[in-house]
Chains A and B, each alone.
Chain A
């Protein structure tokens, strides 16, 4: 059985970062597709919890039902979520990524390290809004427009936090500024 590119990338992520939360996985996939241009084919839309593509969940469900990924309940302070890990069978099924893709996956995983699901949600939302503004205007989006829009849809983040996240993304050239 041959894995698809989407499935293989997810297995690589979970191989490198066992016990990853579903939200974190979703945002990492988003960064890989929209920042690093990996050839994944998900349709992301924006929701209250940031960019989300239901097809990512489809891929994950396939991997879980095939026994390549395990999913266990993990309790946080006010929330219970799923922690995902690659299984032994999954490790056997996984095949090598191209050197370039491997490098991009490692870079995004390092970027995500130490960030909470909430942080990743904010960073991914900034990338999403920046991309949307660029497509709509046909030019580079202004920093003010991005921050204003993100603050409007996510008022639980203050403008200073959004600005810091924006600058950190711009420094890494994850967004054009």
Chain B
């Protein structure tokens, strides 16, 4: 519990995107907790530094940034009386919702695996009582499941009992509802505001595009952040309830955000060398887990506090130490020596027949891997961004306004073949 003198204290943290990120005593207590500090030891872009050497920023500063971005977006929306009316929101409800959004944004990545997305291959399959379970399909836990469990098991007291929040009646369930938790019931608040955390216009991607660009030293991911924030609104139509949208006057900034994401995907996230290191890391991680945690090479399920503590004990430092101790097997050595499988060929369609046989023949002979990763969830133009015109309440999609977006490849197929050069030489 914070002392009375600290309750109103504001903390400021320097940040290269926002200048300063402001936190209250509760948020600072969360940041200072060991589980949040762990995010300093989870690199945002995994082994991207094998290609772009300065890509060494972490989930820690990204989480702070998402909180600031989400907060700025919400404040702009809540400033407009029309949006409050559409949401049937009274002014006095605004501080509570803002706090829920800030905490959800701050904690949205708390359950990330070591080396971020590369570590997700070691997540266990869903049990049959999980809402996303499907018979005959191998659906696995995601980092979001671990984040939700961590918030419920490990951050509940800090969320519900802290003096800063005592009059707001916020529960851990209010926070996880914005992160996709399906063990509680959705509410009007959760279904609209979760789009600020994970949607087409969310604070998460708005922050990581800017932050990744800055740290890597490229300009592909840049867009006008202030303009984006100032154009966020809530639209309404007869066909649908209220929805998150961009004011018509600002559709160009939405266009630039989508193009920035496309560029970052093609130039960074889907870089051919970066992708093969994801593969090597996933394999090495499973090898390490087999020796240290479970025979199956999987993380413990996020179903108990004890399991979560064991999961969160695993971070980039621990895995890197194991790699250095040569516990990562063949793929661990490849990472240590930066000697990845080499790019051999690629297709813009699913290979079949003779080309697939030829590729498999090479893999059988030398060792190698086919990366079908263009289907990765990192790159999505899933939900169209809605553009809302206030004067006549008309709505249309960004892809109808923008010829550039319309012409963009929706899901470019890039399927790559990599071959083990050591195998080929020997």
Residues of chain A touching chain B, judged by Cβ–Cβ distance below 8 Å, are 1-2, 39, 41, 43, 45-49, 52, 54, 57-58, 61-62, 64-65, 73, 76-82, 116-118, 121, 129, 132-133, 135-136, 149, 152-156
Contacts and interface: CB of A to CB of B under 8 A. Distances in A.
Contacts of A156: 241
A149 B185 contact: yes
B426 interface: no
Contacts of A153: 186-188, 191
Given A1-B352, A80-B396, A156-B241, 16 more contacts: A43-B132, A47-B191, A48-B195, A48-B240, A49-B240, A49-B243, A54-B382, A57-B383, A61-B411, A65-B410, A80-B397, A81-B397, A129-B185, A133-B185, A136-B183, A154-B241
23 contacts: A1-B350, A1-B352, A45-B180, A45-B182, A48-B195, A52-B383, A54-B377, A54-B380, A54-B383, A57-B380, A58-B411, A61-B410, A62-B410, A65-B411, A73-B400, A78-B237, A78-B393, A78-B394, A81-B397, A132-B186, A136-B183, A136-B185, A155-B241
A48 B191 contact: yes
A101 to B, nearest CB: 15
Interface string B174-201: 0000001011111110011011000000
A82 B397 CA distance: 9
Interface string B156-183: 0000000000000000000000001011
Interface of B: 88, 129, 131-132, 134, 136-137, 139, 180, 182-188, 191-192, 194-195, 237-244, 349-350, 352, 375, 377, 380-383, 392-397, 400, 409-411
Contacts of A149: 185-186
Contact of A48 (B88, B182, B192, B377): B192
Secondary structure type dominating chain A contacts: mixed
A129 B239 CA distance: 20
Contacts of A2: 352
